[in-house]
Structure 1
Amino acid sequence: MAKKQKPPVVVAELGRPETPAETAARKATDSRLYKQRKTVNNLVFSLLVSLGLVLVIFLMVPQGKGGYAEHAVDAQKLAAEASPSAGRDLAAPDVPEAWKAKWAGLKSSGGVTYWQINYTTVDEASGLEAYASVVQAFTSDGSPVDEDWILGQLENQRPTGAEEIGGIDWIAYDHTDRDADESNMLFGLQGQWEQDAILVYGTDSPATIRTLAAGVADSLTAMKEK
């Protein structure tokens, strides 16, 4: 007995059975919509996975109170290690325990090699932090360091006076009316040690910068007398 063929299904929206072309179009539309939904779902899933990985990495990183605020280098040790490369003794002053040497090393620019220490200073009275830097600059042939290079380090400020500290004659740059948030040089001192240009400057008070300059002079004198 032959199998009885089912009559075509009437589509409610059409009120009649679909034509083969309409069936094909419907299936194509359903397939496209399915793929779109699947793509969106995959994107959402991928985003959730990424966020989960970020959270895991964040939780794995130590969240203590350390970090840059507590970071400090041993400037005196680094000065001793860099001195042979520089071919001279490098300044490494004693500073208050609350200060932190954030960076110390040799650099080169404009035909000048220089040793630099950058400090975060702390005012003992107010407890406020500021910035101070020591620079010892020299040339390969022993010629004087170019004045334009020196002024560039001092943010192109004009000299305002002269003074003697620690046996070194210094040119002073007093510009304490500048904004400490926009400058690293409110007060600075420029001196000479043998063939080297010595710069001490920062955003701390002139008294603190002078004390740091005295420490630089003492450091260089002590190494020369060894």
Structure 2
Amino acid sequence: MAKEPRIVAELGRPETPEETAARKAENSRKHRANQTAINLVLALAASLAIVLVLVLVVVRPTQPPRAAIDYASVAAREQPGVGEPLASPTLPPEWTANAATLDTGTDDITTWSIGFITPAEQFIALRQGIDANPTWLANRLDKLSPTGTEVIDGLEWAVYDNRDSRDPGNLAYAMSTSTGSSSFALYGTAETAEFLALATALSADLDGSAE
């Protein structure tokens, strides 16, 4: 028995063989398009899964620690060009330095800088400004106001405790003093005891330099 032609509701009559062929061709095209889109999505998901596995599984090499700097040797090398003794405090071997530089800024003030890593693996910067003015110190300490004082070996230090601020960064705690033609600023993330240890070693170094 022959199949009745499909009635096209919009036309109110059976569709012609040409219309049937066109309809089937369009349906086939839509099906292929849908399959292609689904395949693309699945392929993308599979690629992302592979990348994620590689990121999680592959062992990424750790960066080697930055080499310690012999700041005493750097200070001895730079000293002939400076009229003021450069600070070179003697510290226990648990203390290391990751930077030691002598620079002259746009303000024509020469600054000797050492970056210390403390035994507790915190950071303290030592800055020595030679013939520095008050602006130099204010800029080093981001214009912080002193919160107290500390006397170490007869040398008075201003203390800046900024730990309660929202984001103190490397200015969580600081100390400053002046002696001779030098102004000193210590600042960083270490505990108070490590700041006092560095300030004490610096005072001993300054006393030795004055002899």
Mark the runs of 5 or more structure 1 residues left unpaired by the alignment: 1-62, 124-128, 140-144
Q: Structure 1: which amino acid aligns with 2:179?
A: W
2:95 is matched by which residue type in structure 1? W
Tell me, which stretches of 5 or more residues in structure 2 are unaligned?
1-60
In structure 1, C-alpha distance between the alignment counterparts of 2:194 and 2:166, rounded to whole Å:
18
Distance 1:179 1:219, change over 3 A: farther
Show structure 1 runs of 4+ deviating over 2 A: none
Q: Cα distance, 1:179 vs. partner?
A: 5.9
Q: How does 1:49-128 map to 2 (within 5 A)?
A: 67=64, 69-109=65-105, 110-123=107-120
Task: Determine helix, strand or coil for the equivalent of 2:144.
Answer: coil
Aligned to 2:41: none
In 1, Cα distance between the equivalents of 2:123 and 2:203? Answer: 19
Partners of 1:173 and 1:189 within 8 A in 2: yes
1:136 to 128, 142, 157: 128
Q: 1 CA distance for matches of 2:193 and 2:182? A: 24
Shift of 1:95: 2.0
TM-superposed deviation, 1:152: 1.3
Whether the 8 Å contact between 2:149 and 2:158 is mirrored in structure 1 is: yes
Q: Does the CA-based 8 Å contact 2:124-2:190 persist in structure 1?
A: yes
1:16 corresponds to which residue?
Answer: none
In the other structure, the counterpart of 2:21 is: none
Question: What is the TM-score normalised by the length of structure 2?
Answer: 0.65
Q: Distance in 2 between matches of 1:137 and 1:85?
A: 14
Task: Tell me the distance in 1 between the aligned counterparts of 2:153 and 2:101.
Answer: 24
Q: CA shift at 1:70, angstroms?
A: 4.4
Residue 73 of structure 1 deviates from its aligned partner by 0.9
Query: Over residues 101-120 of structure 1, what are the superposed CA-to-partner deviations in whole Å (9 max), with x where a residue is unaligned?
Result: 10112112222111110012
Measure how far apart 1:157 and its partner are.
1.4
Structure 2 letter corresponding to 1:163: E
Q: Is the 8 A contact 1:98 1:122 kept in 2?
A: yes
Structure 2 counterpart of 1:222: 208
Q: Give the match for residue 206 of structure 1.
A: 192
Judge conservation of contact 2:84–2:181 (CA < 8 Å) in 1.
no
| Secondary structure at 2:185 match in 1 | strand
Tell me what 1:20 maps to.
none
Residues 71, 100 of structure 1: 8 Å contact kept: no
Deviations 1:133-179 (A, max 9, x none): 1111113xxxxx22222111112211111221122111111112246
Question: Would you say how many aligned residue pairs link Structure 1 and Structure 2?
Answer: 150
CA RMSD of aligned residues (A): 1.9
Shift of residue 214, structure 1, vs aligned partner = 0.9
Residue in 2 that maps onto 1:147:
134
Q: How does 1:149-164 map to 2 (within 5 A)?
A: 149-164=136-151
| 1:73 and 1:101 in contact (8 A); partners too | yes
CA contact (8 A) 2:103 2:111 kept: yes
1:30 maps to: none
Q: Is the 8 A contact 2:145 2:160 kept in 1?
A: yes
Q: TM-score, normalised by structure 1?
A: 0.61
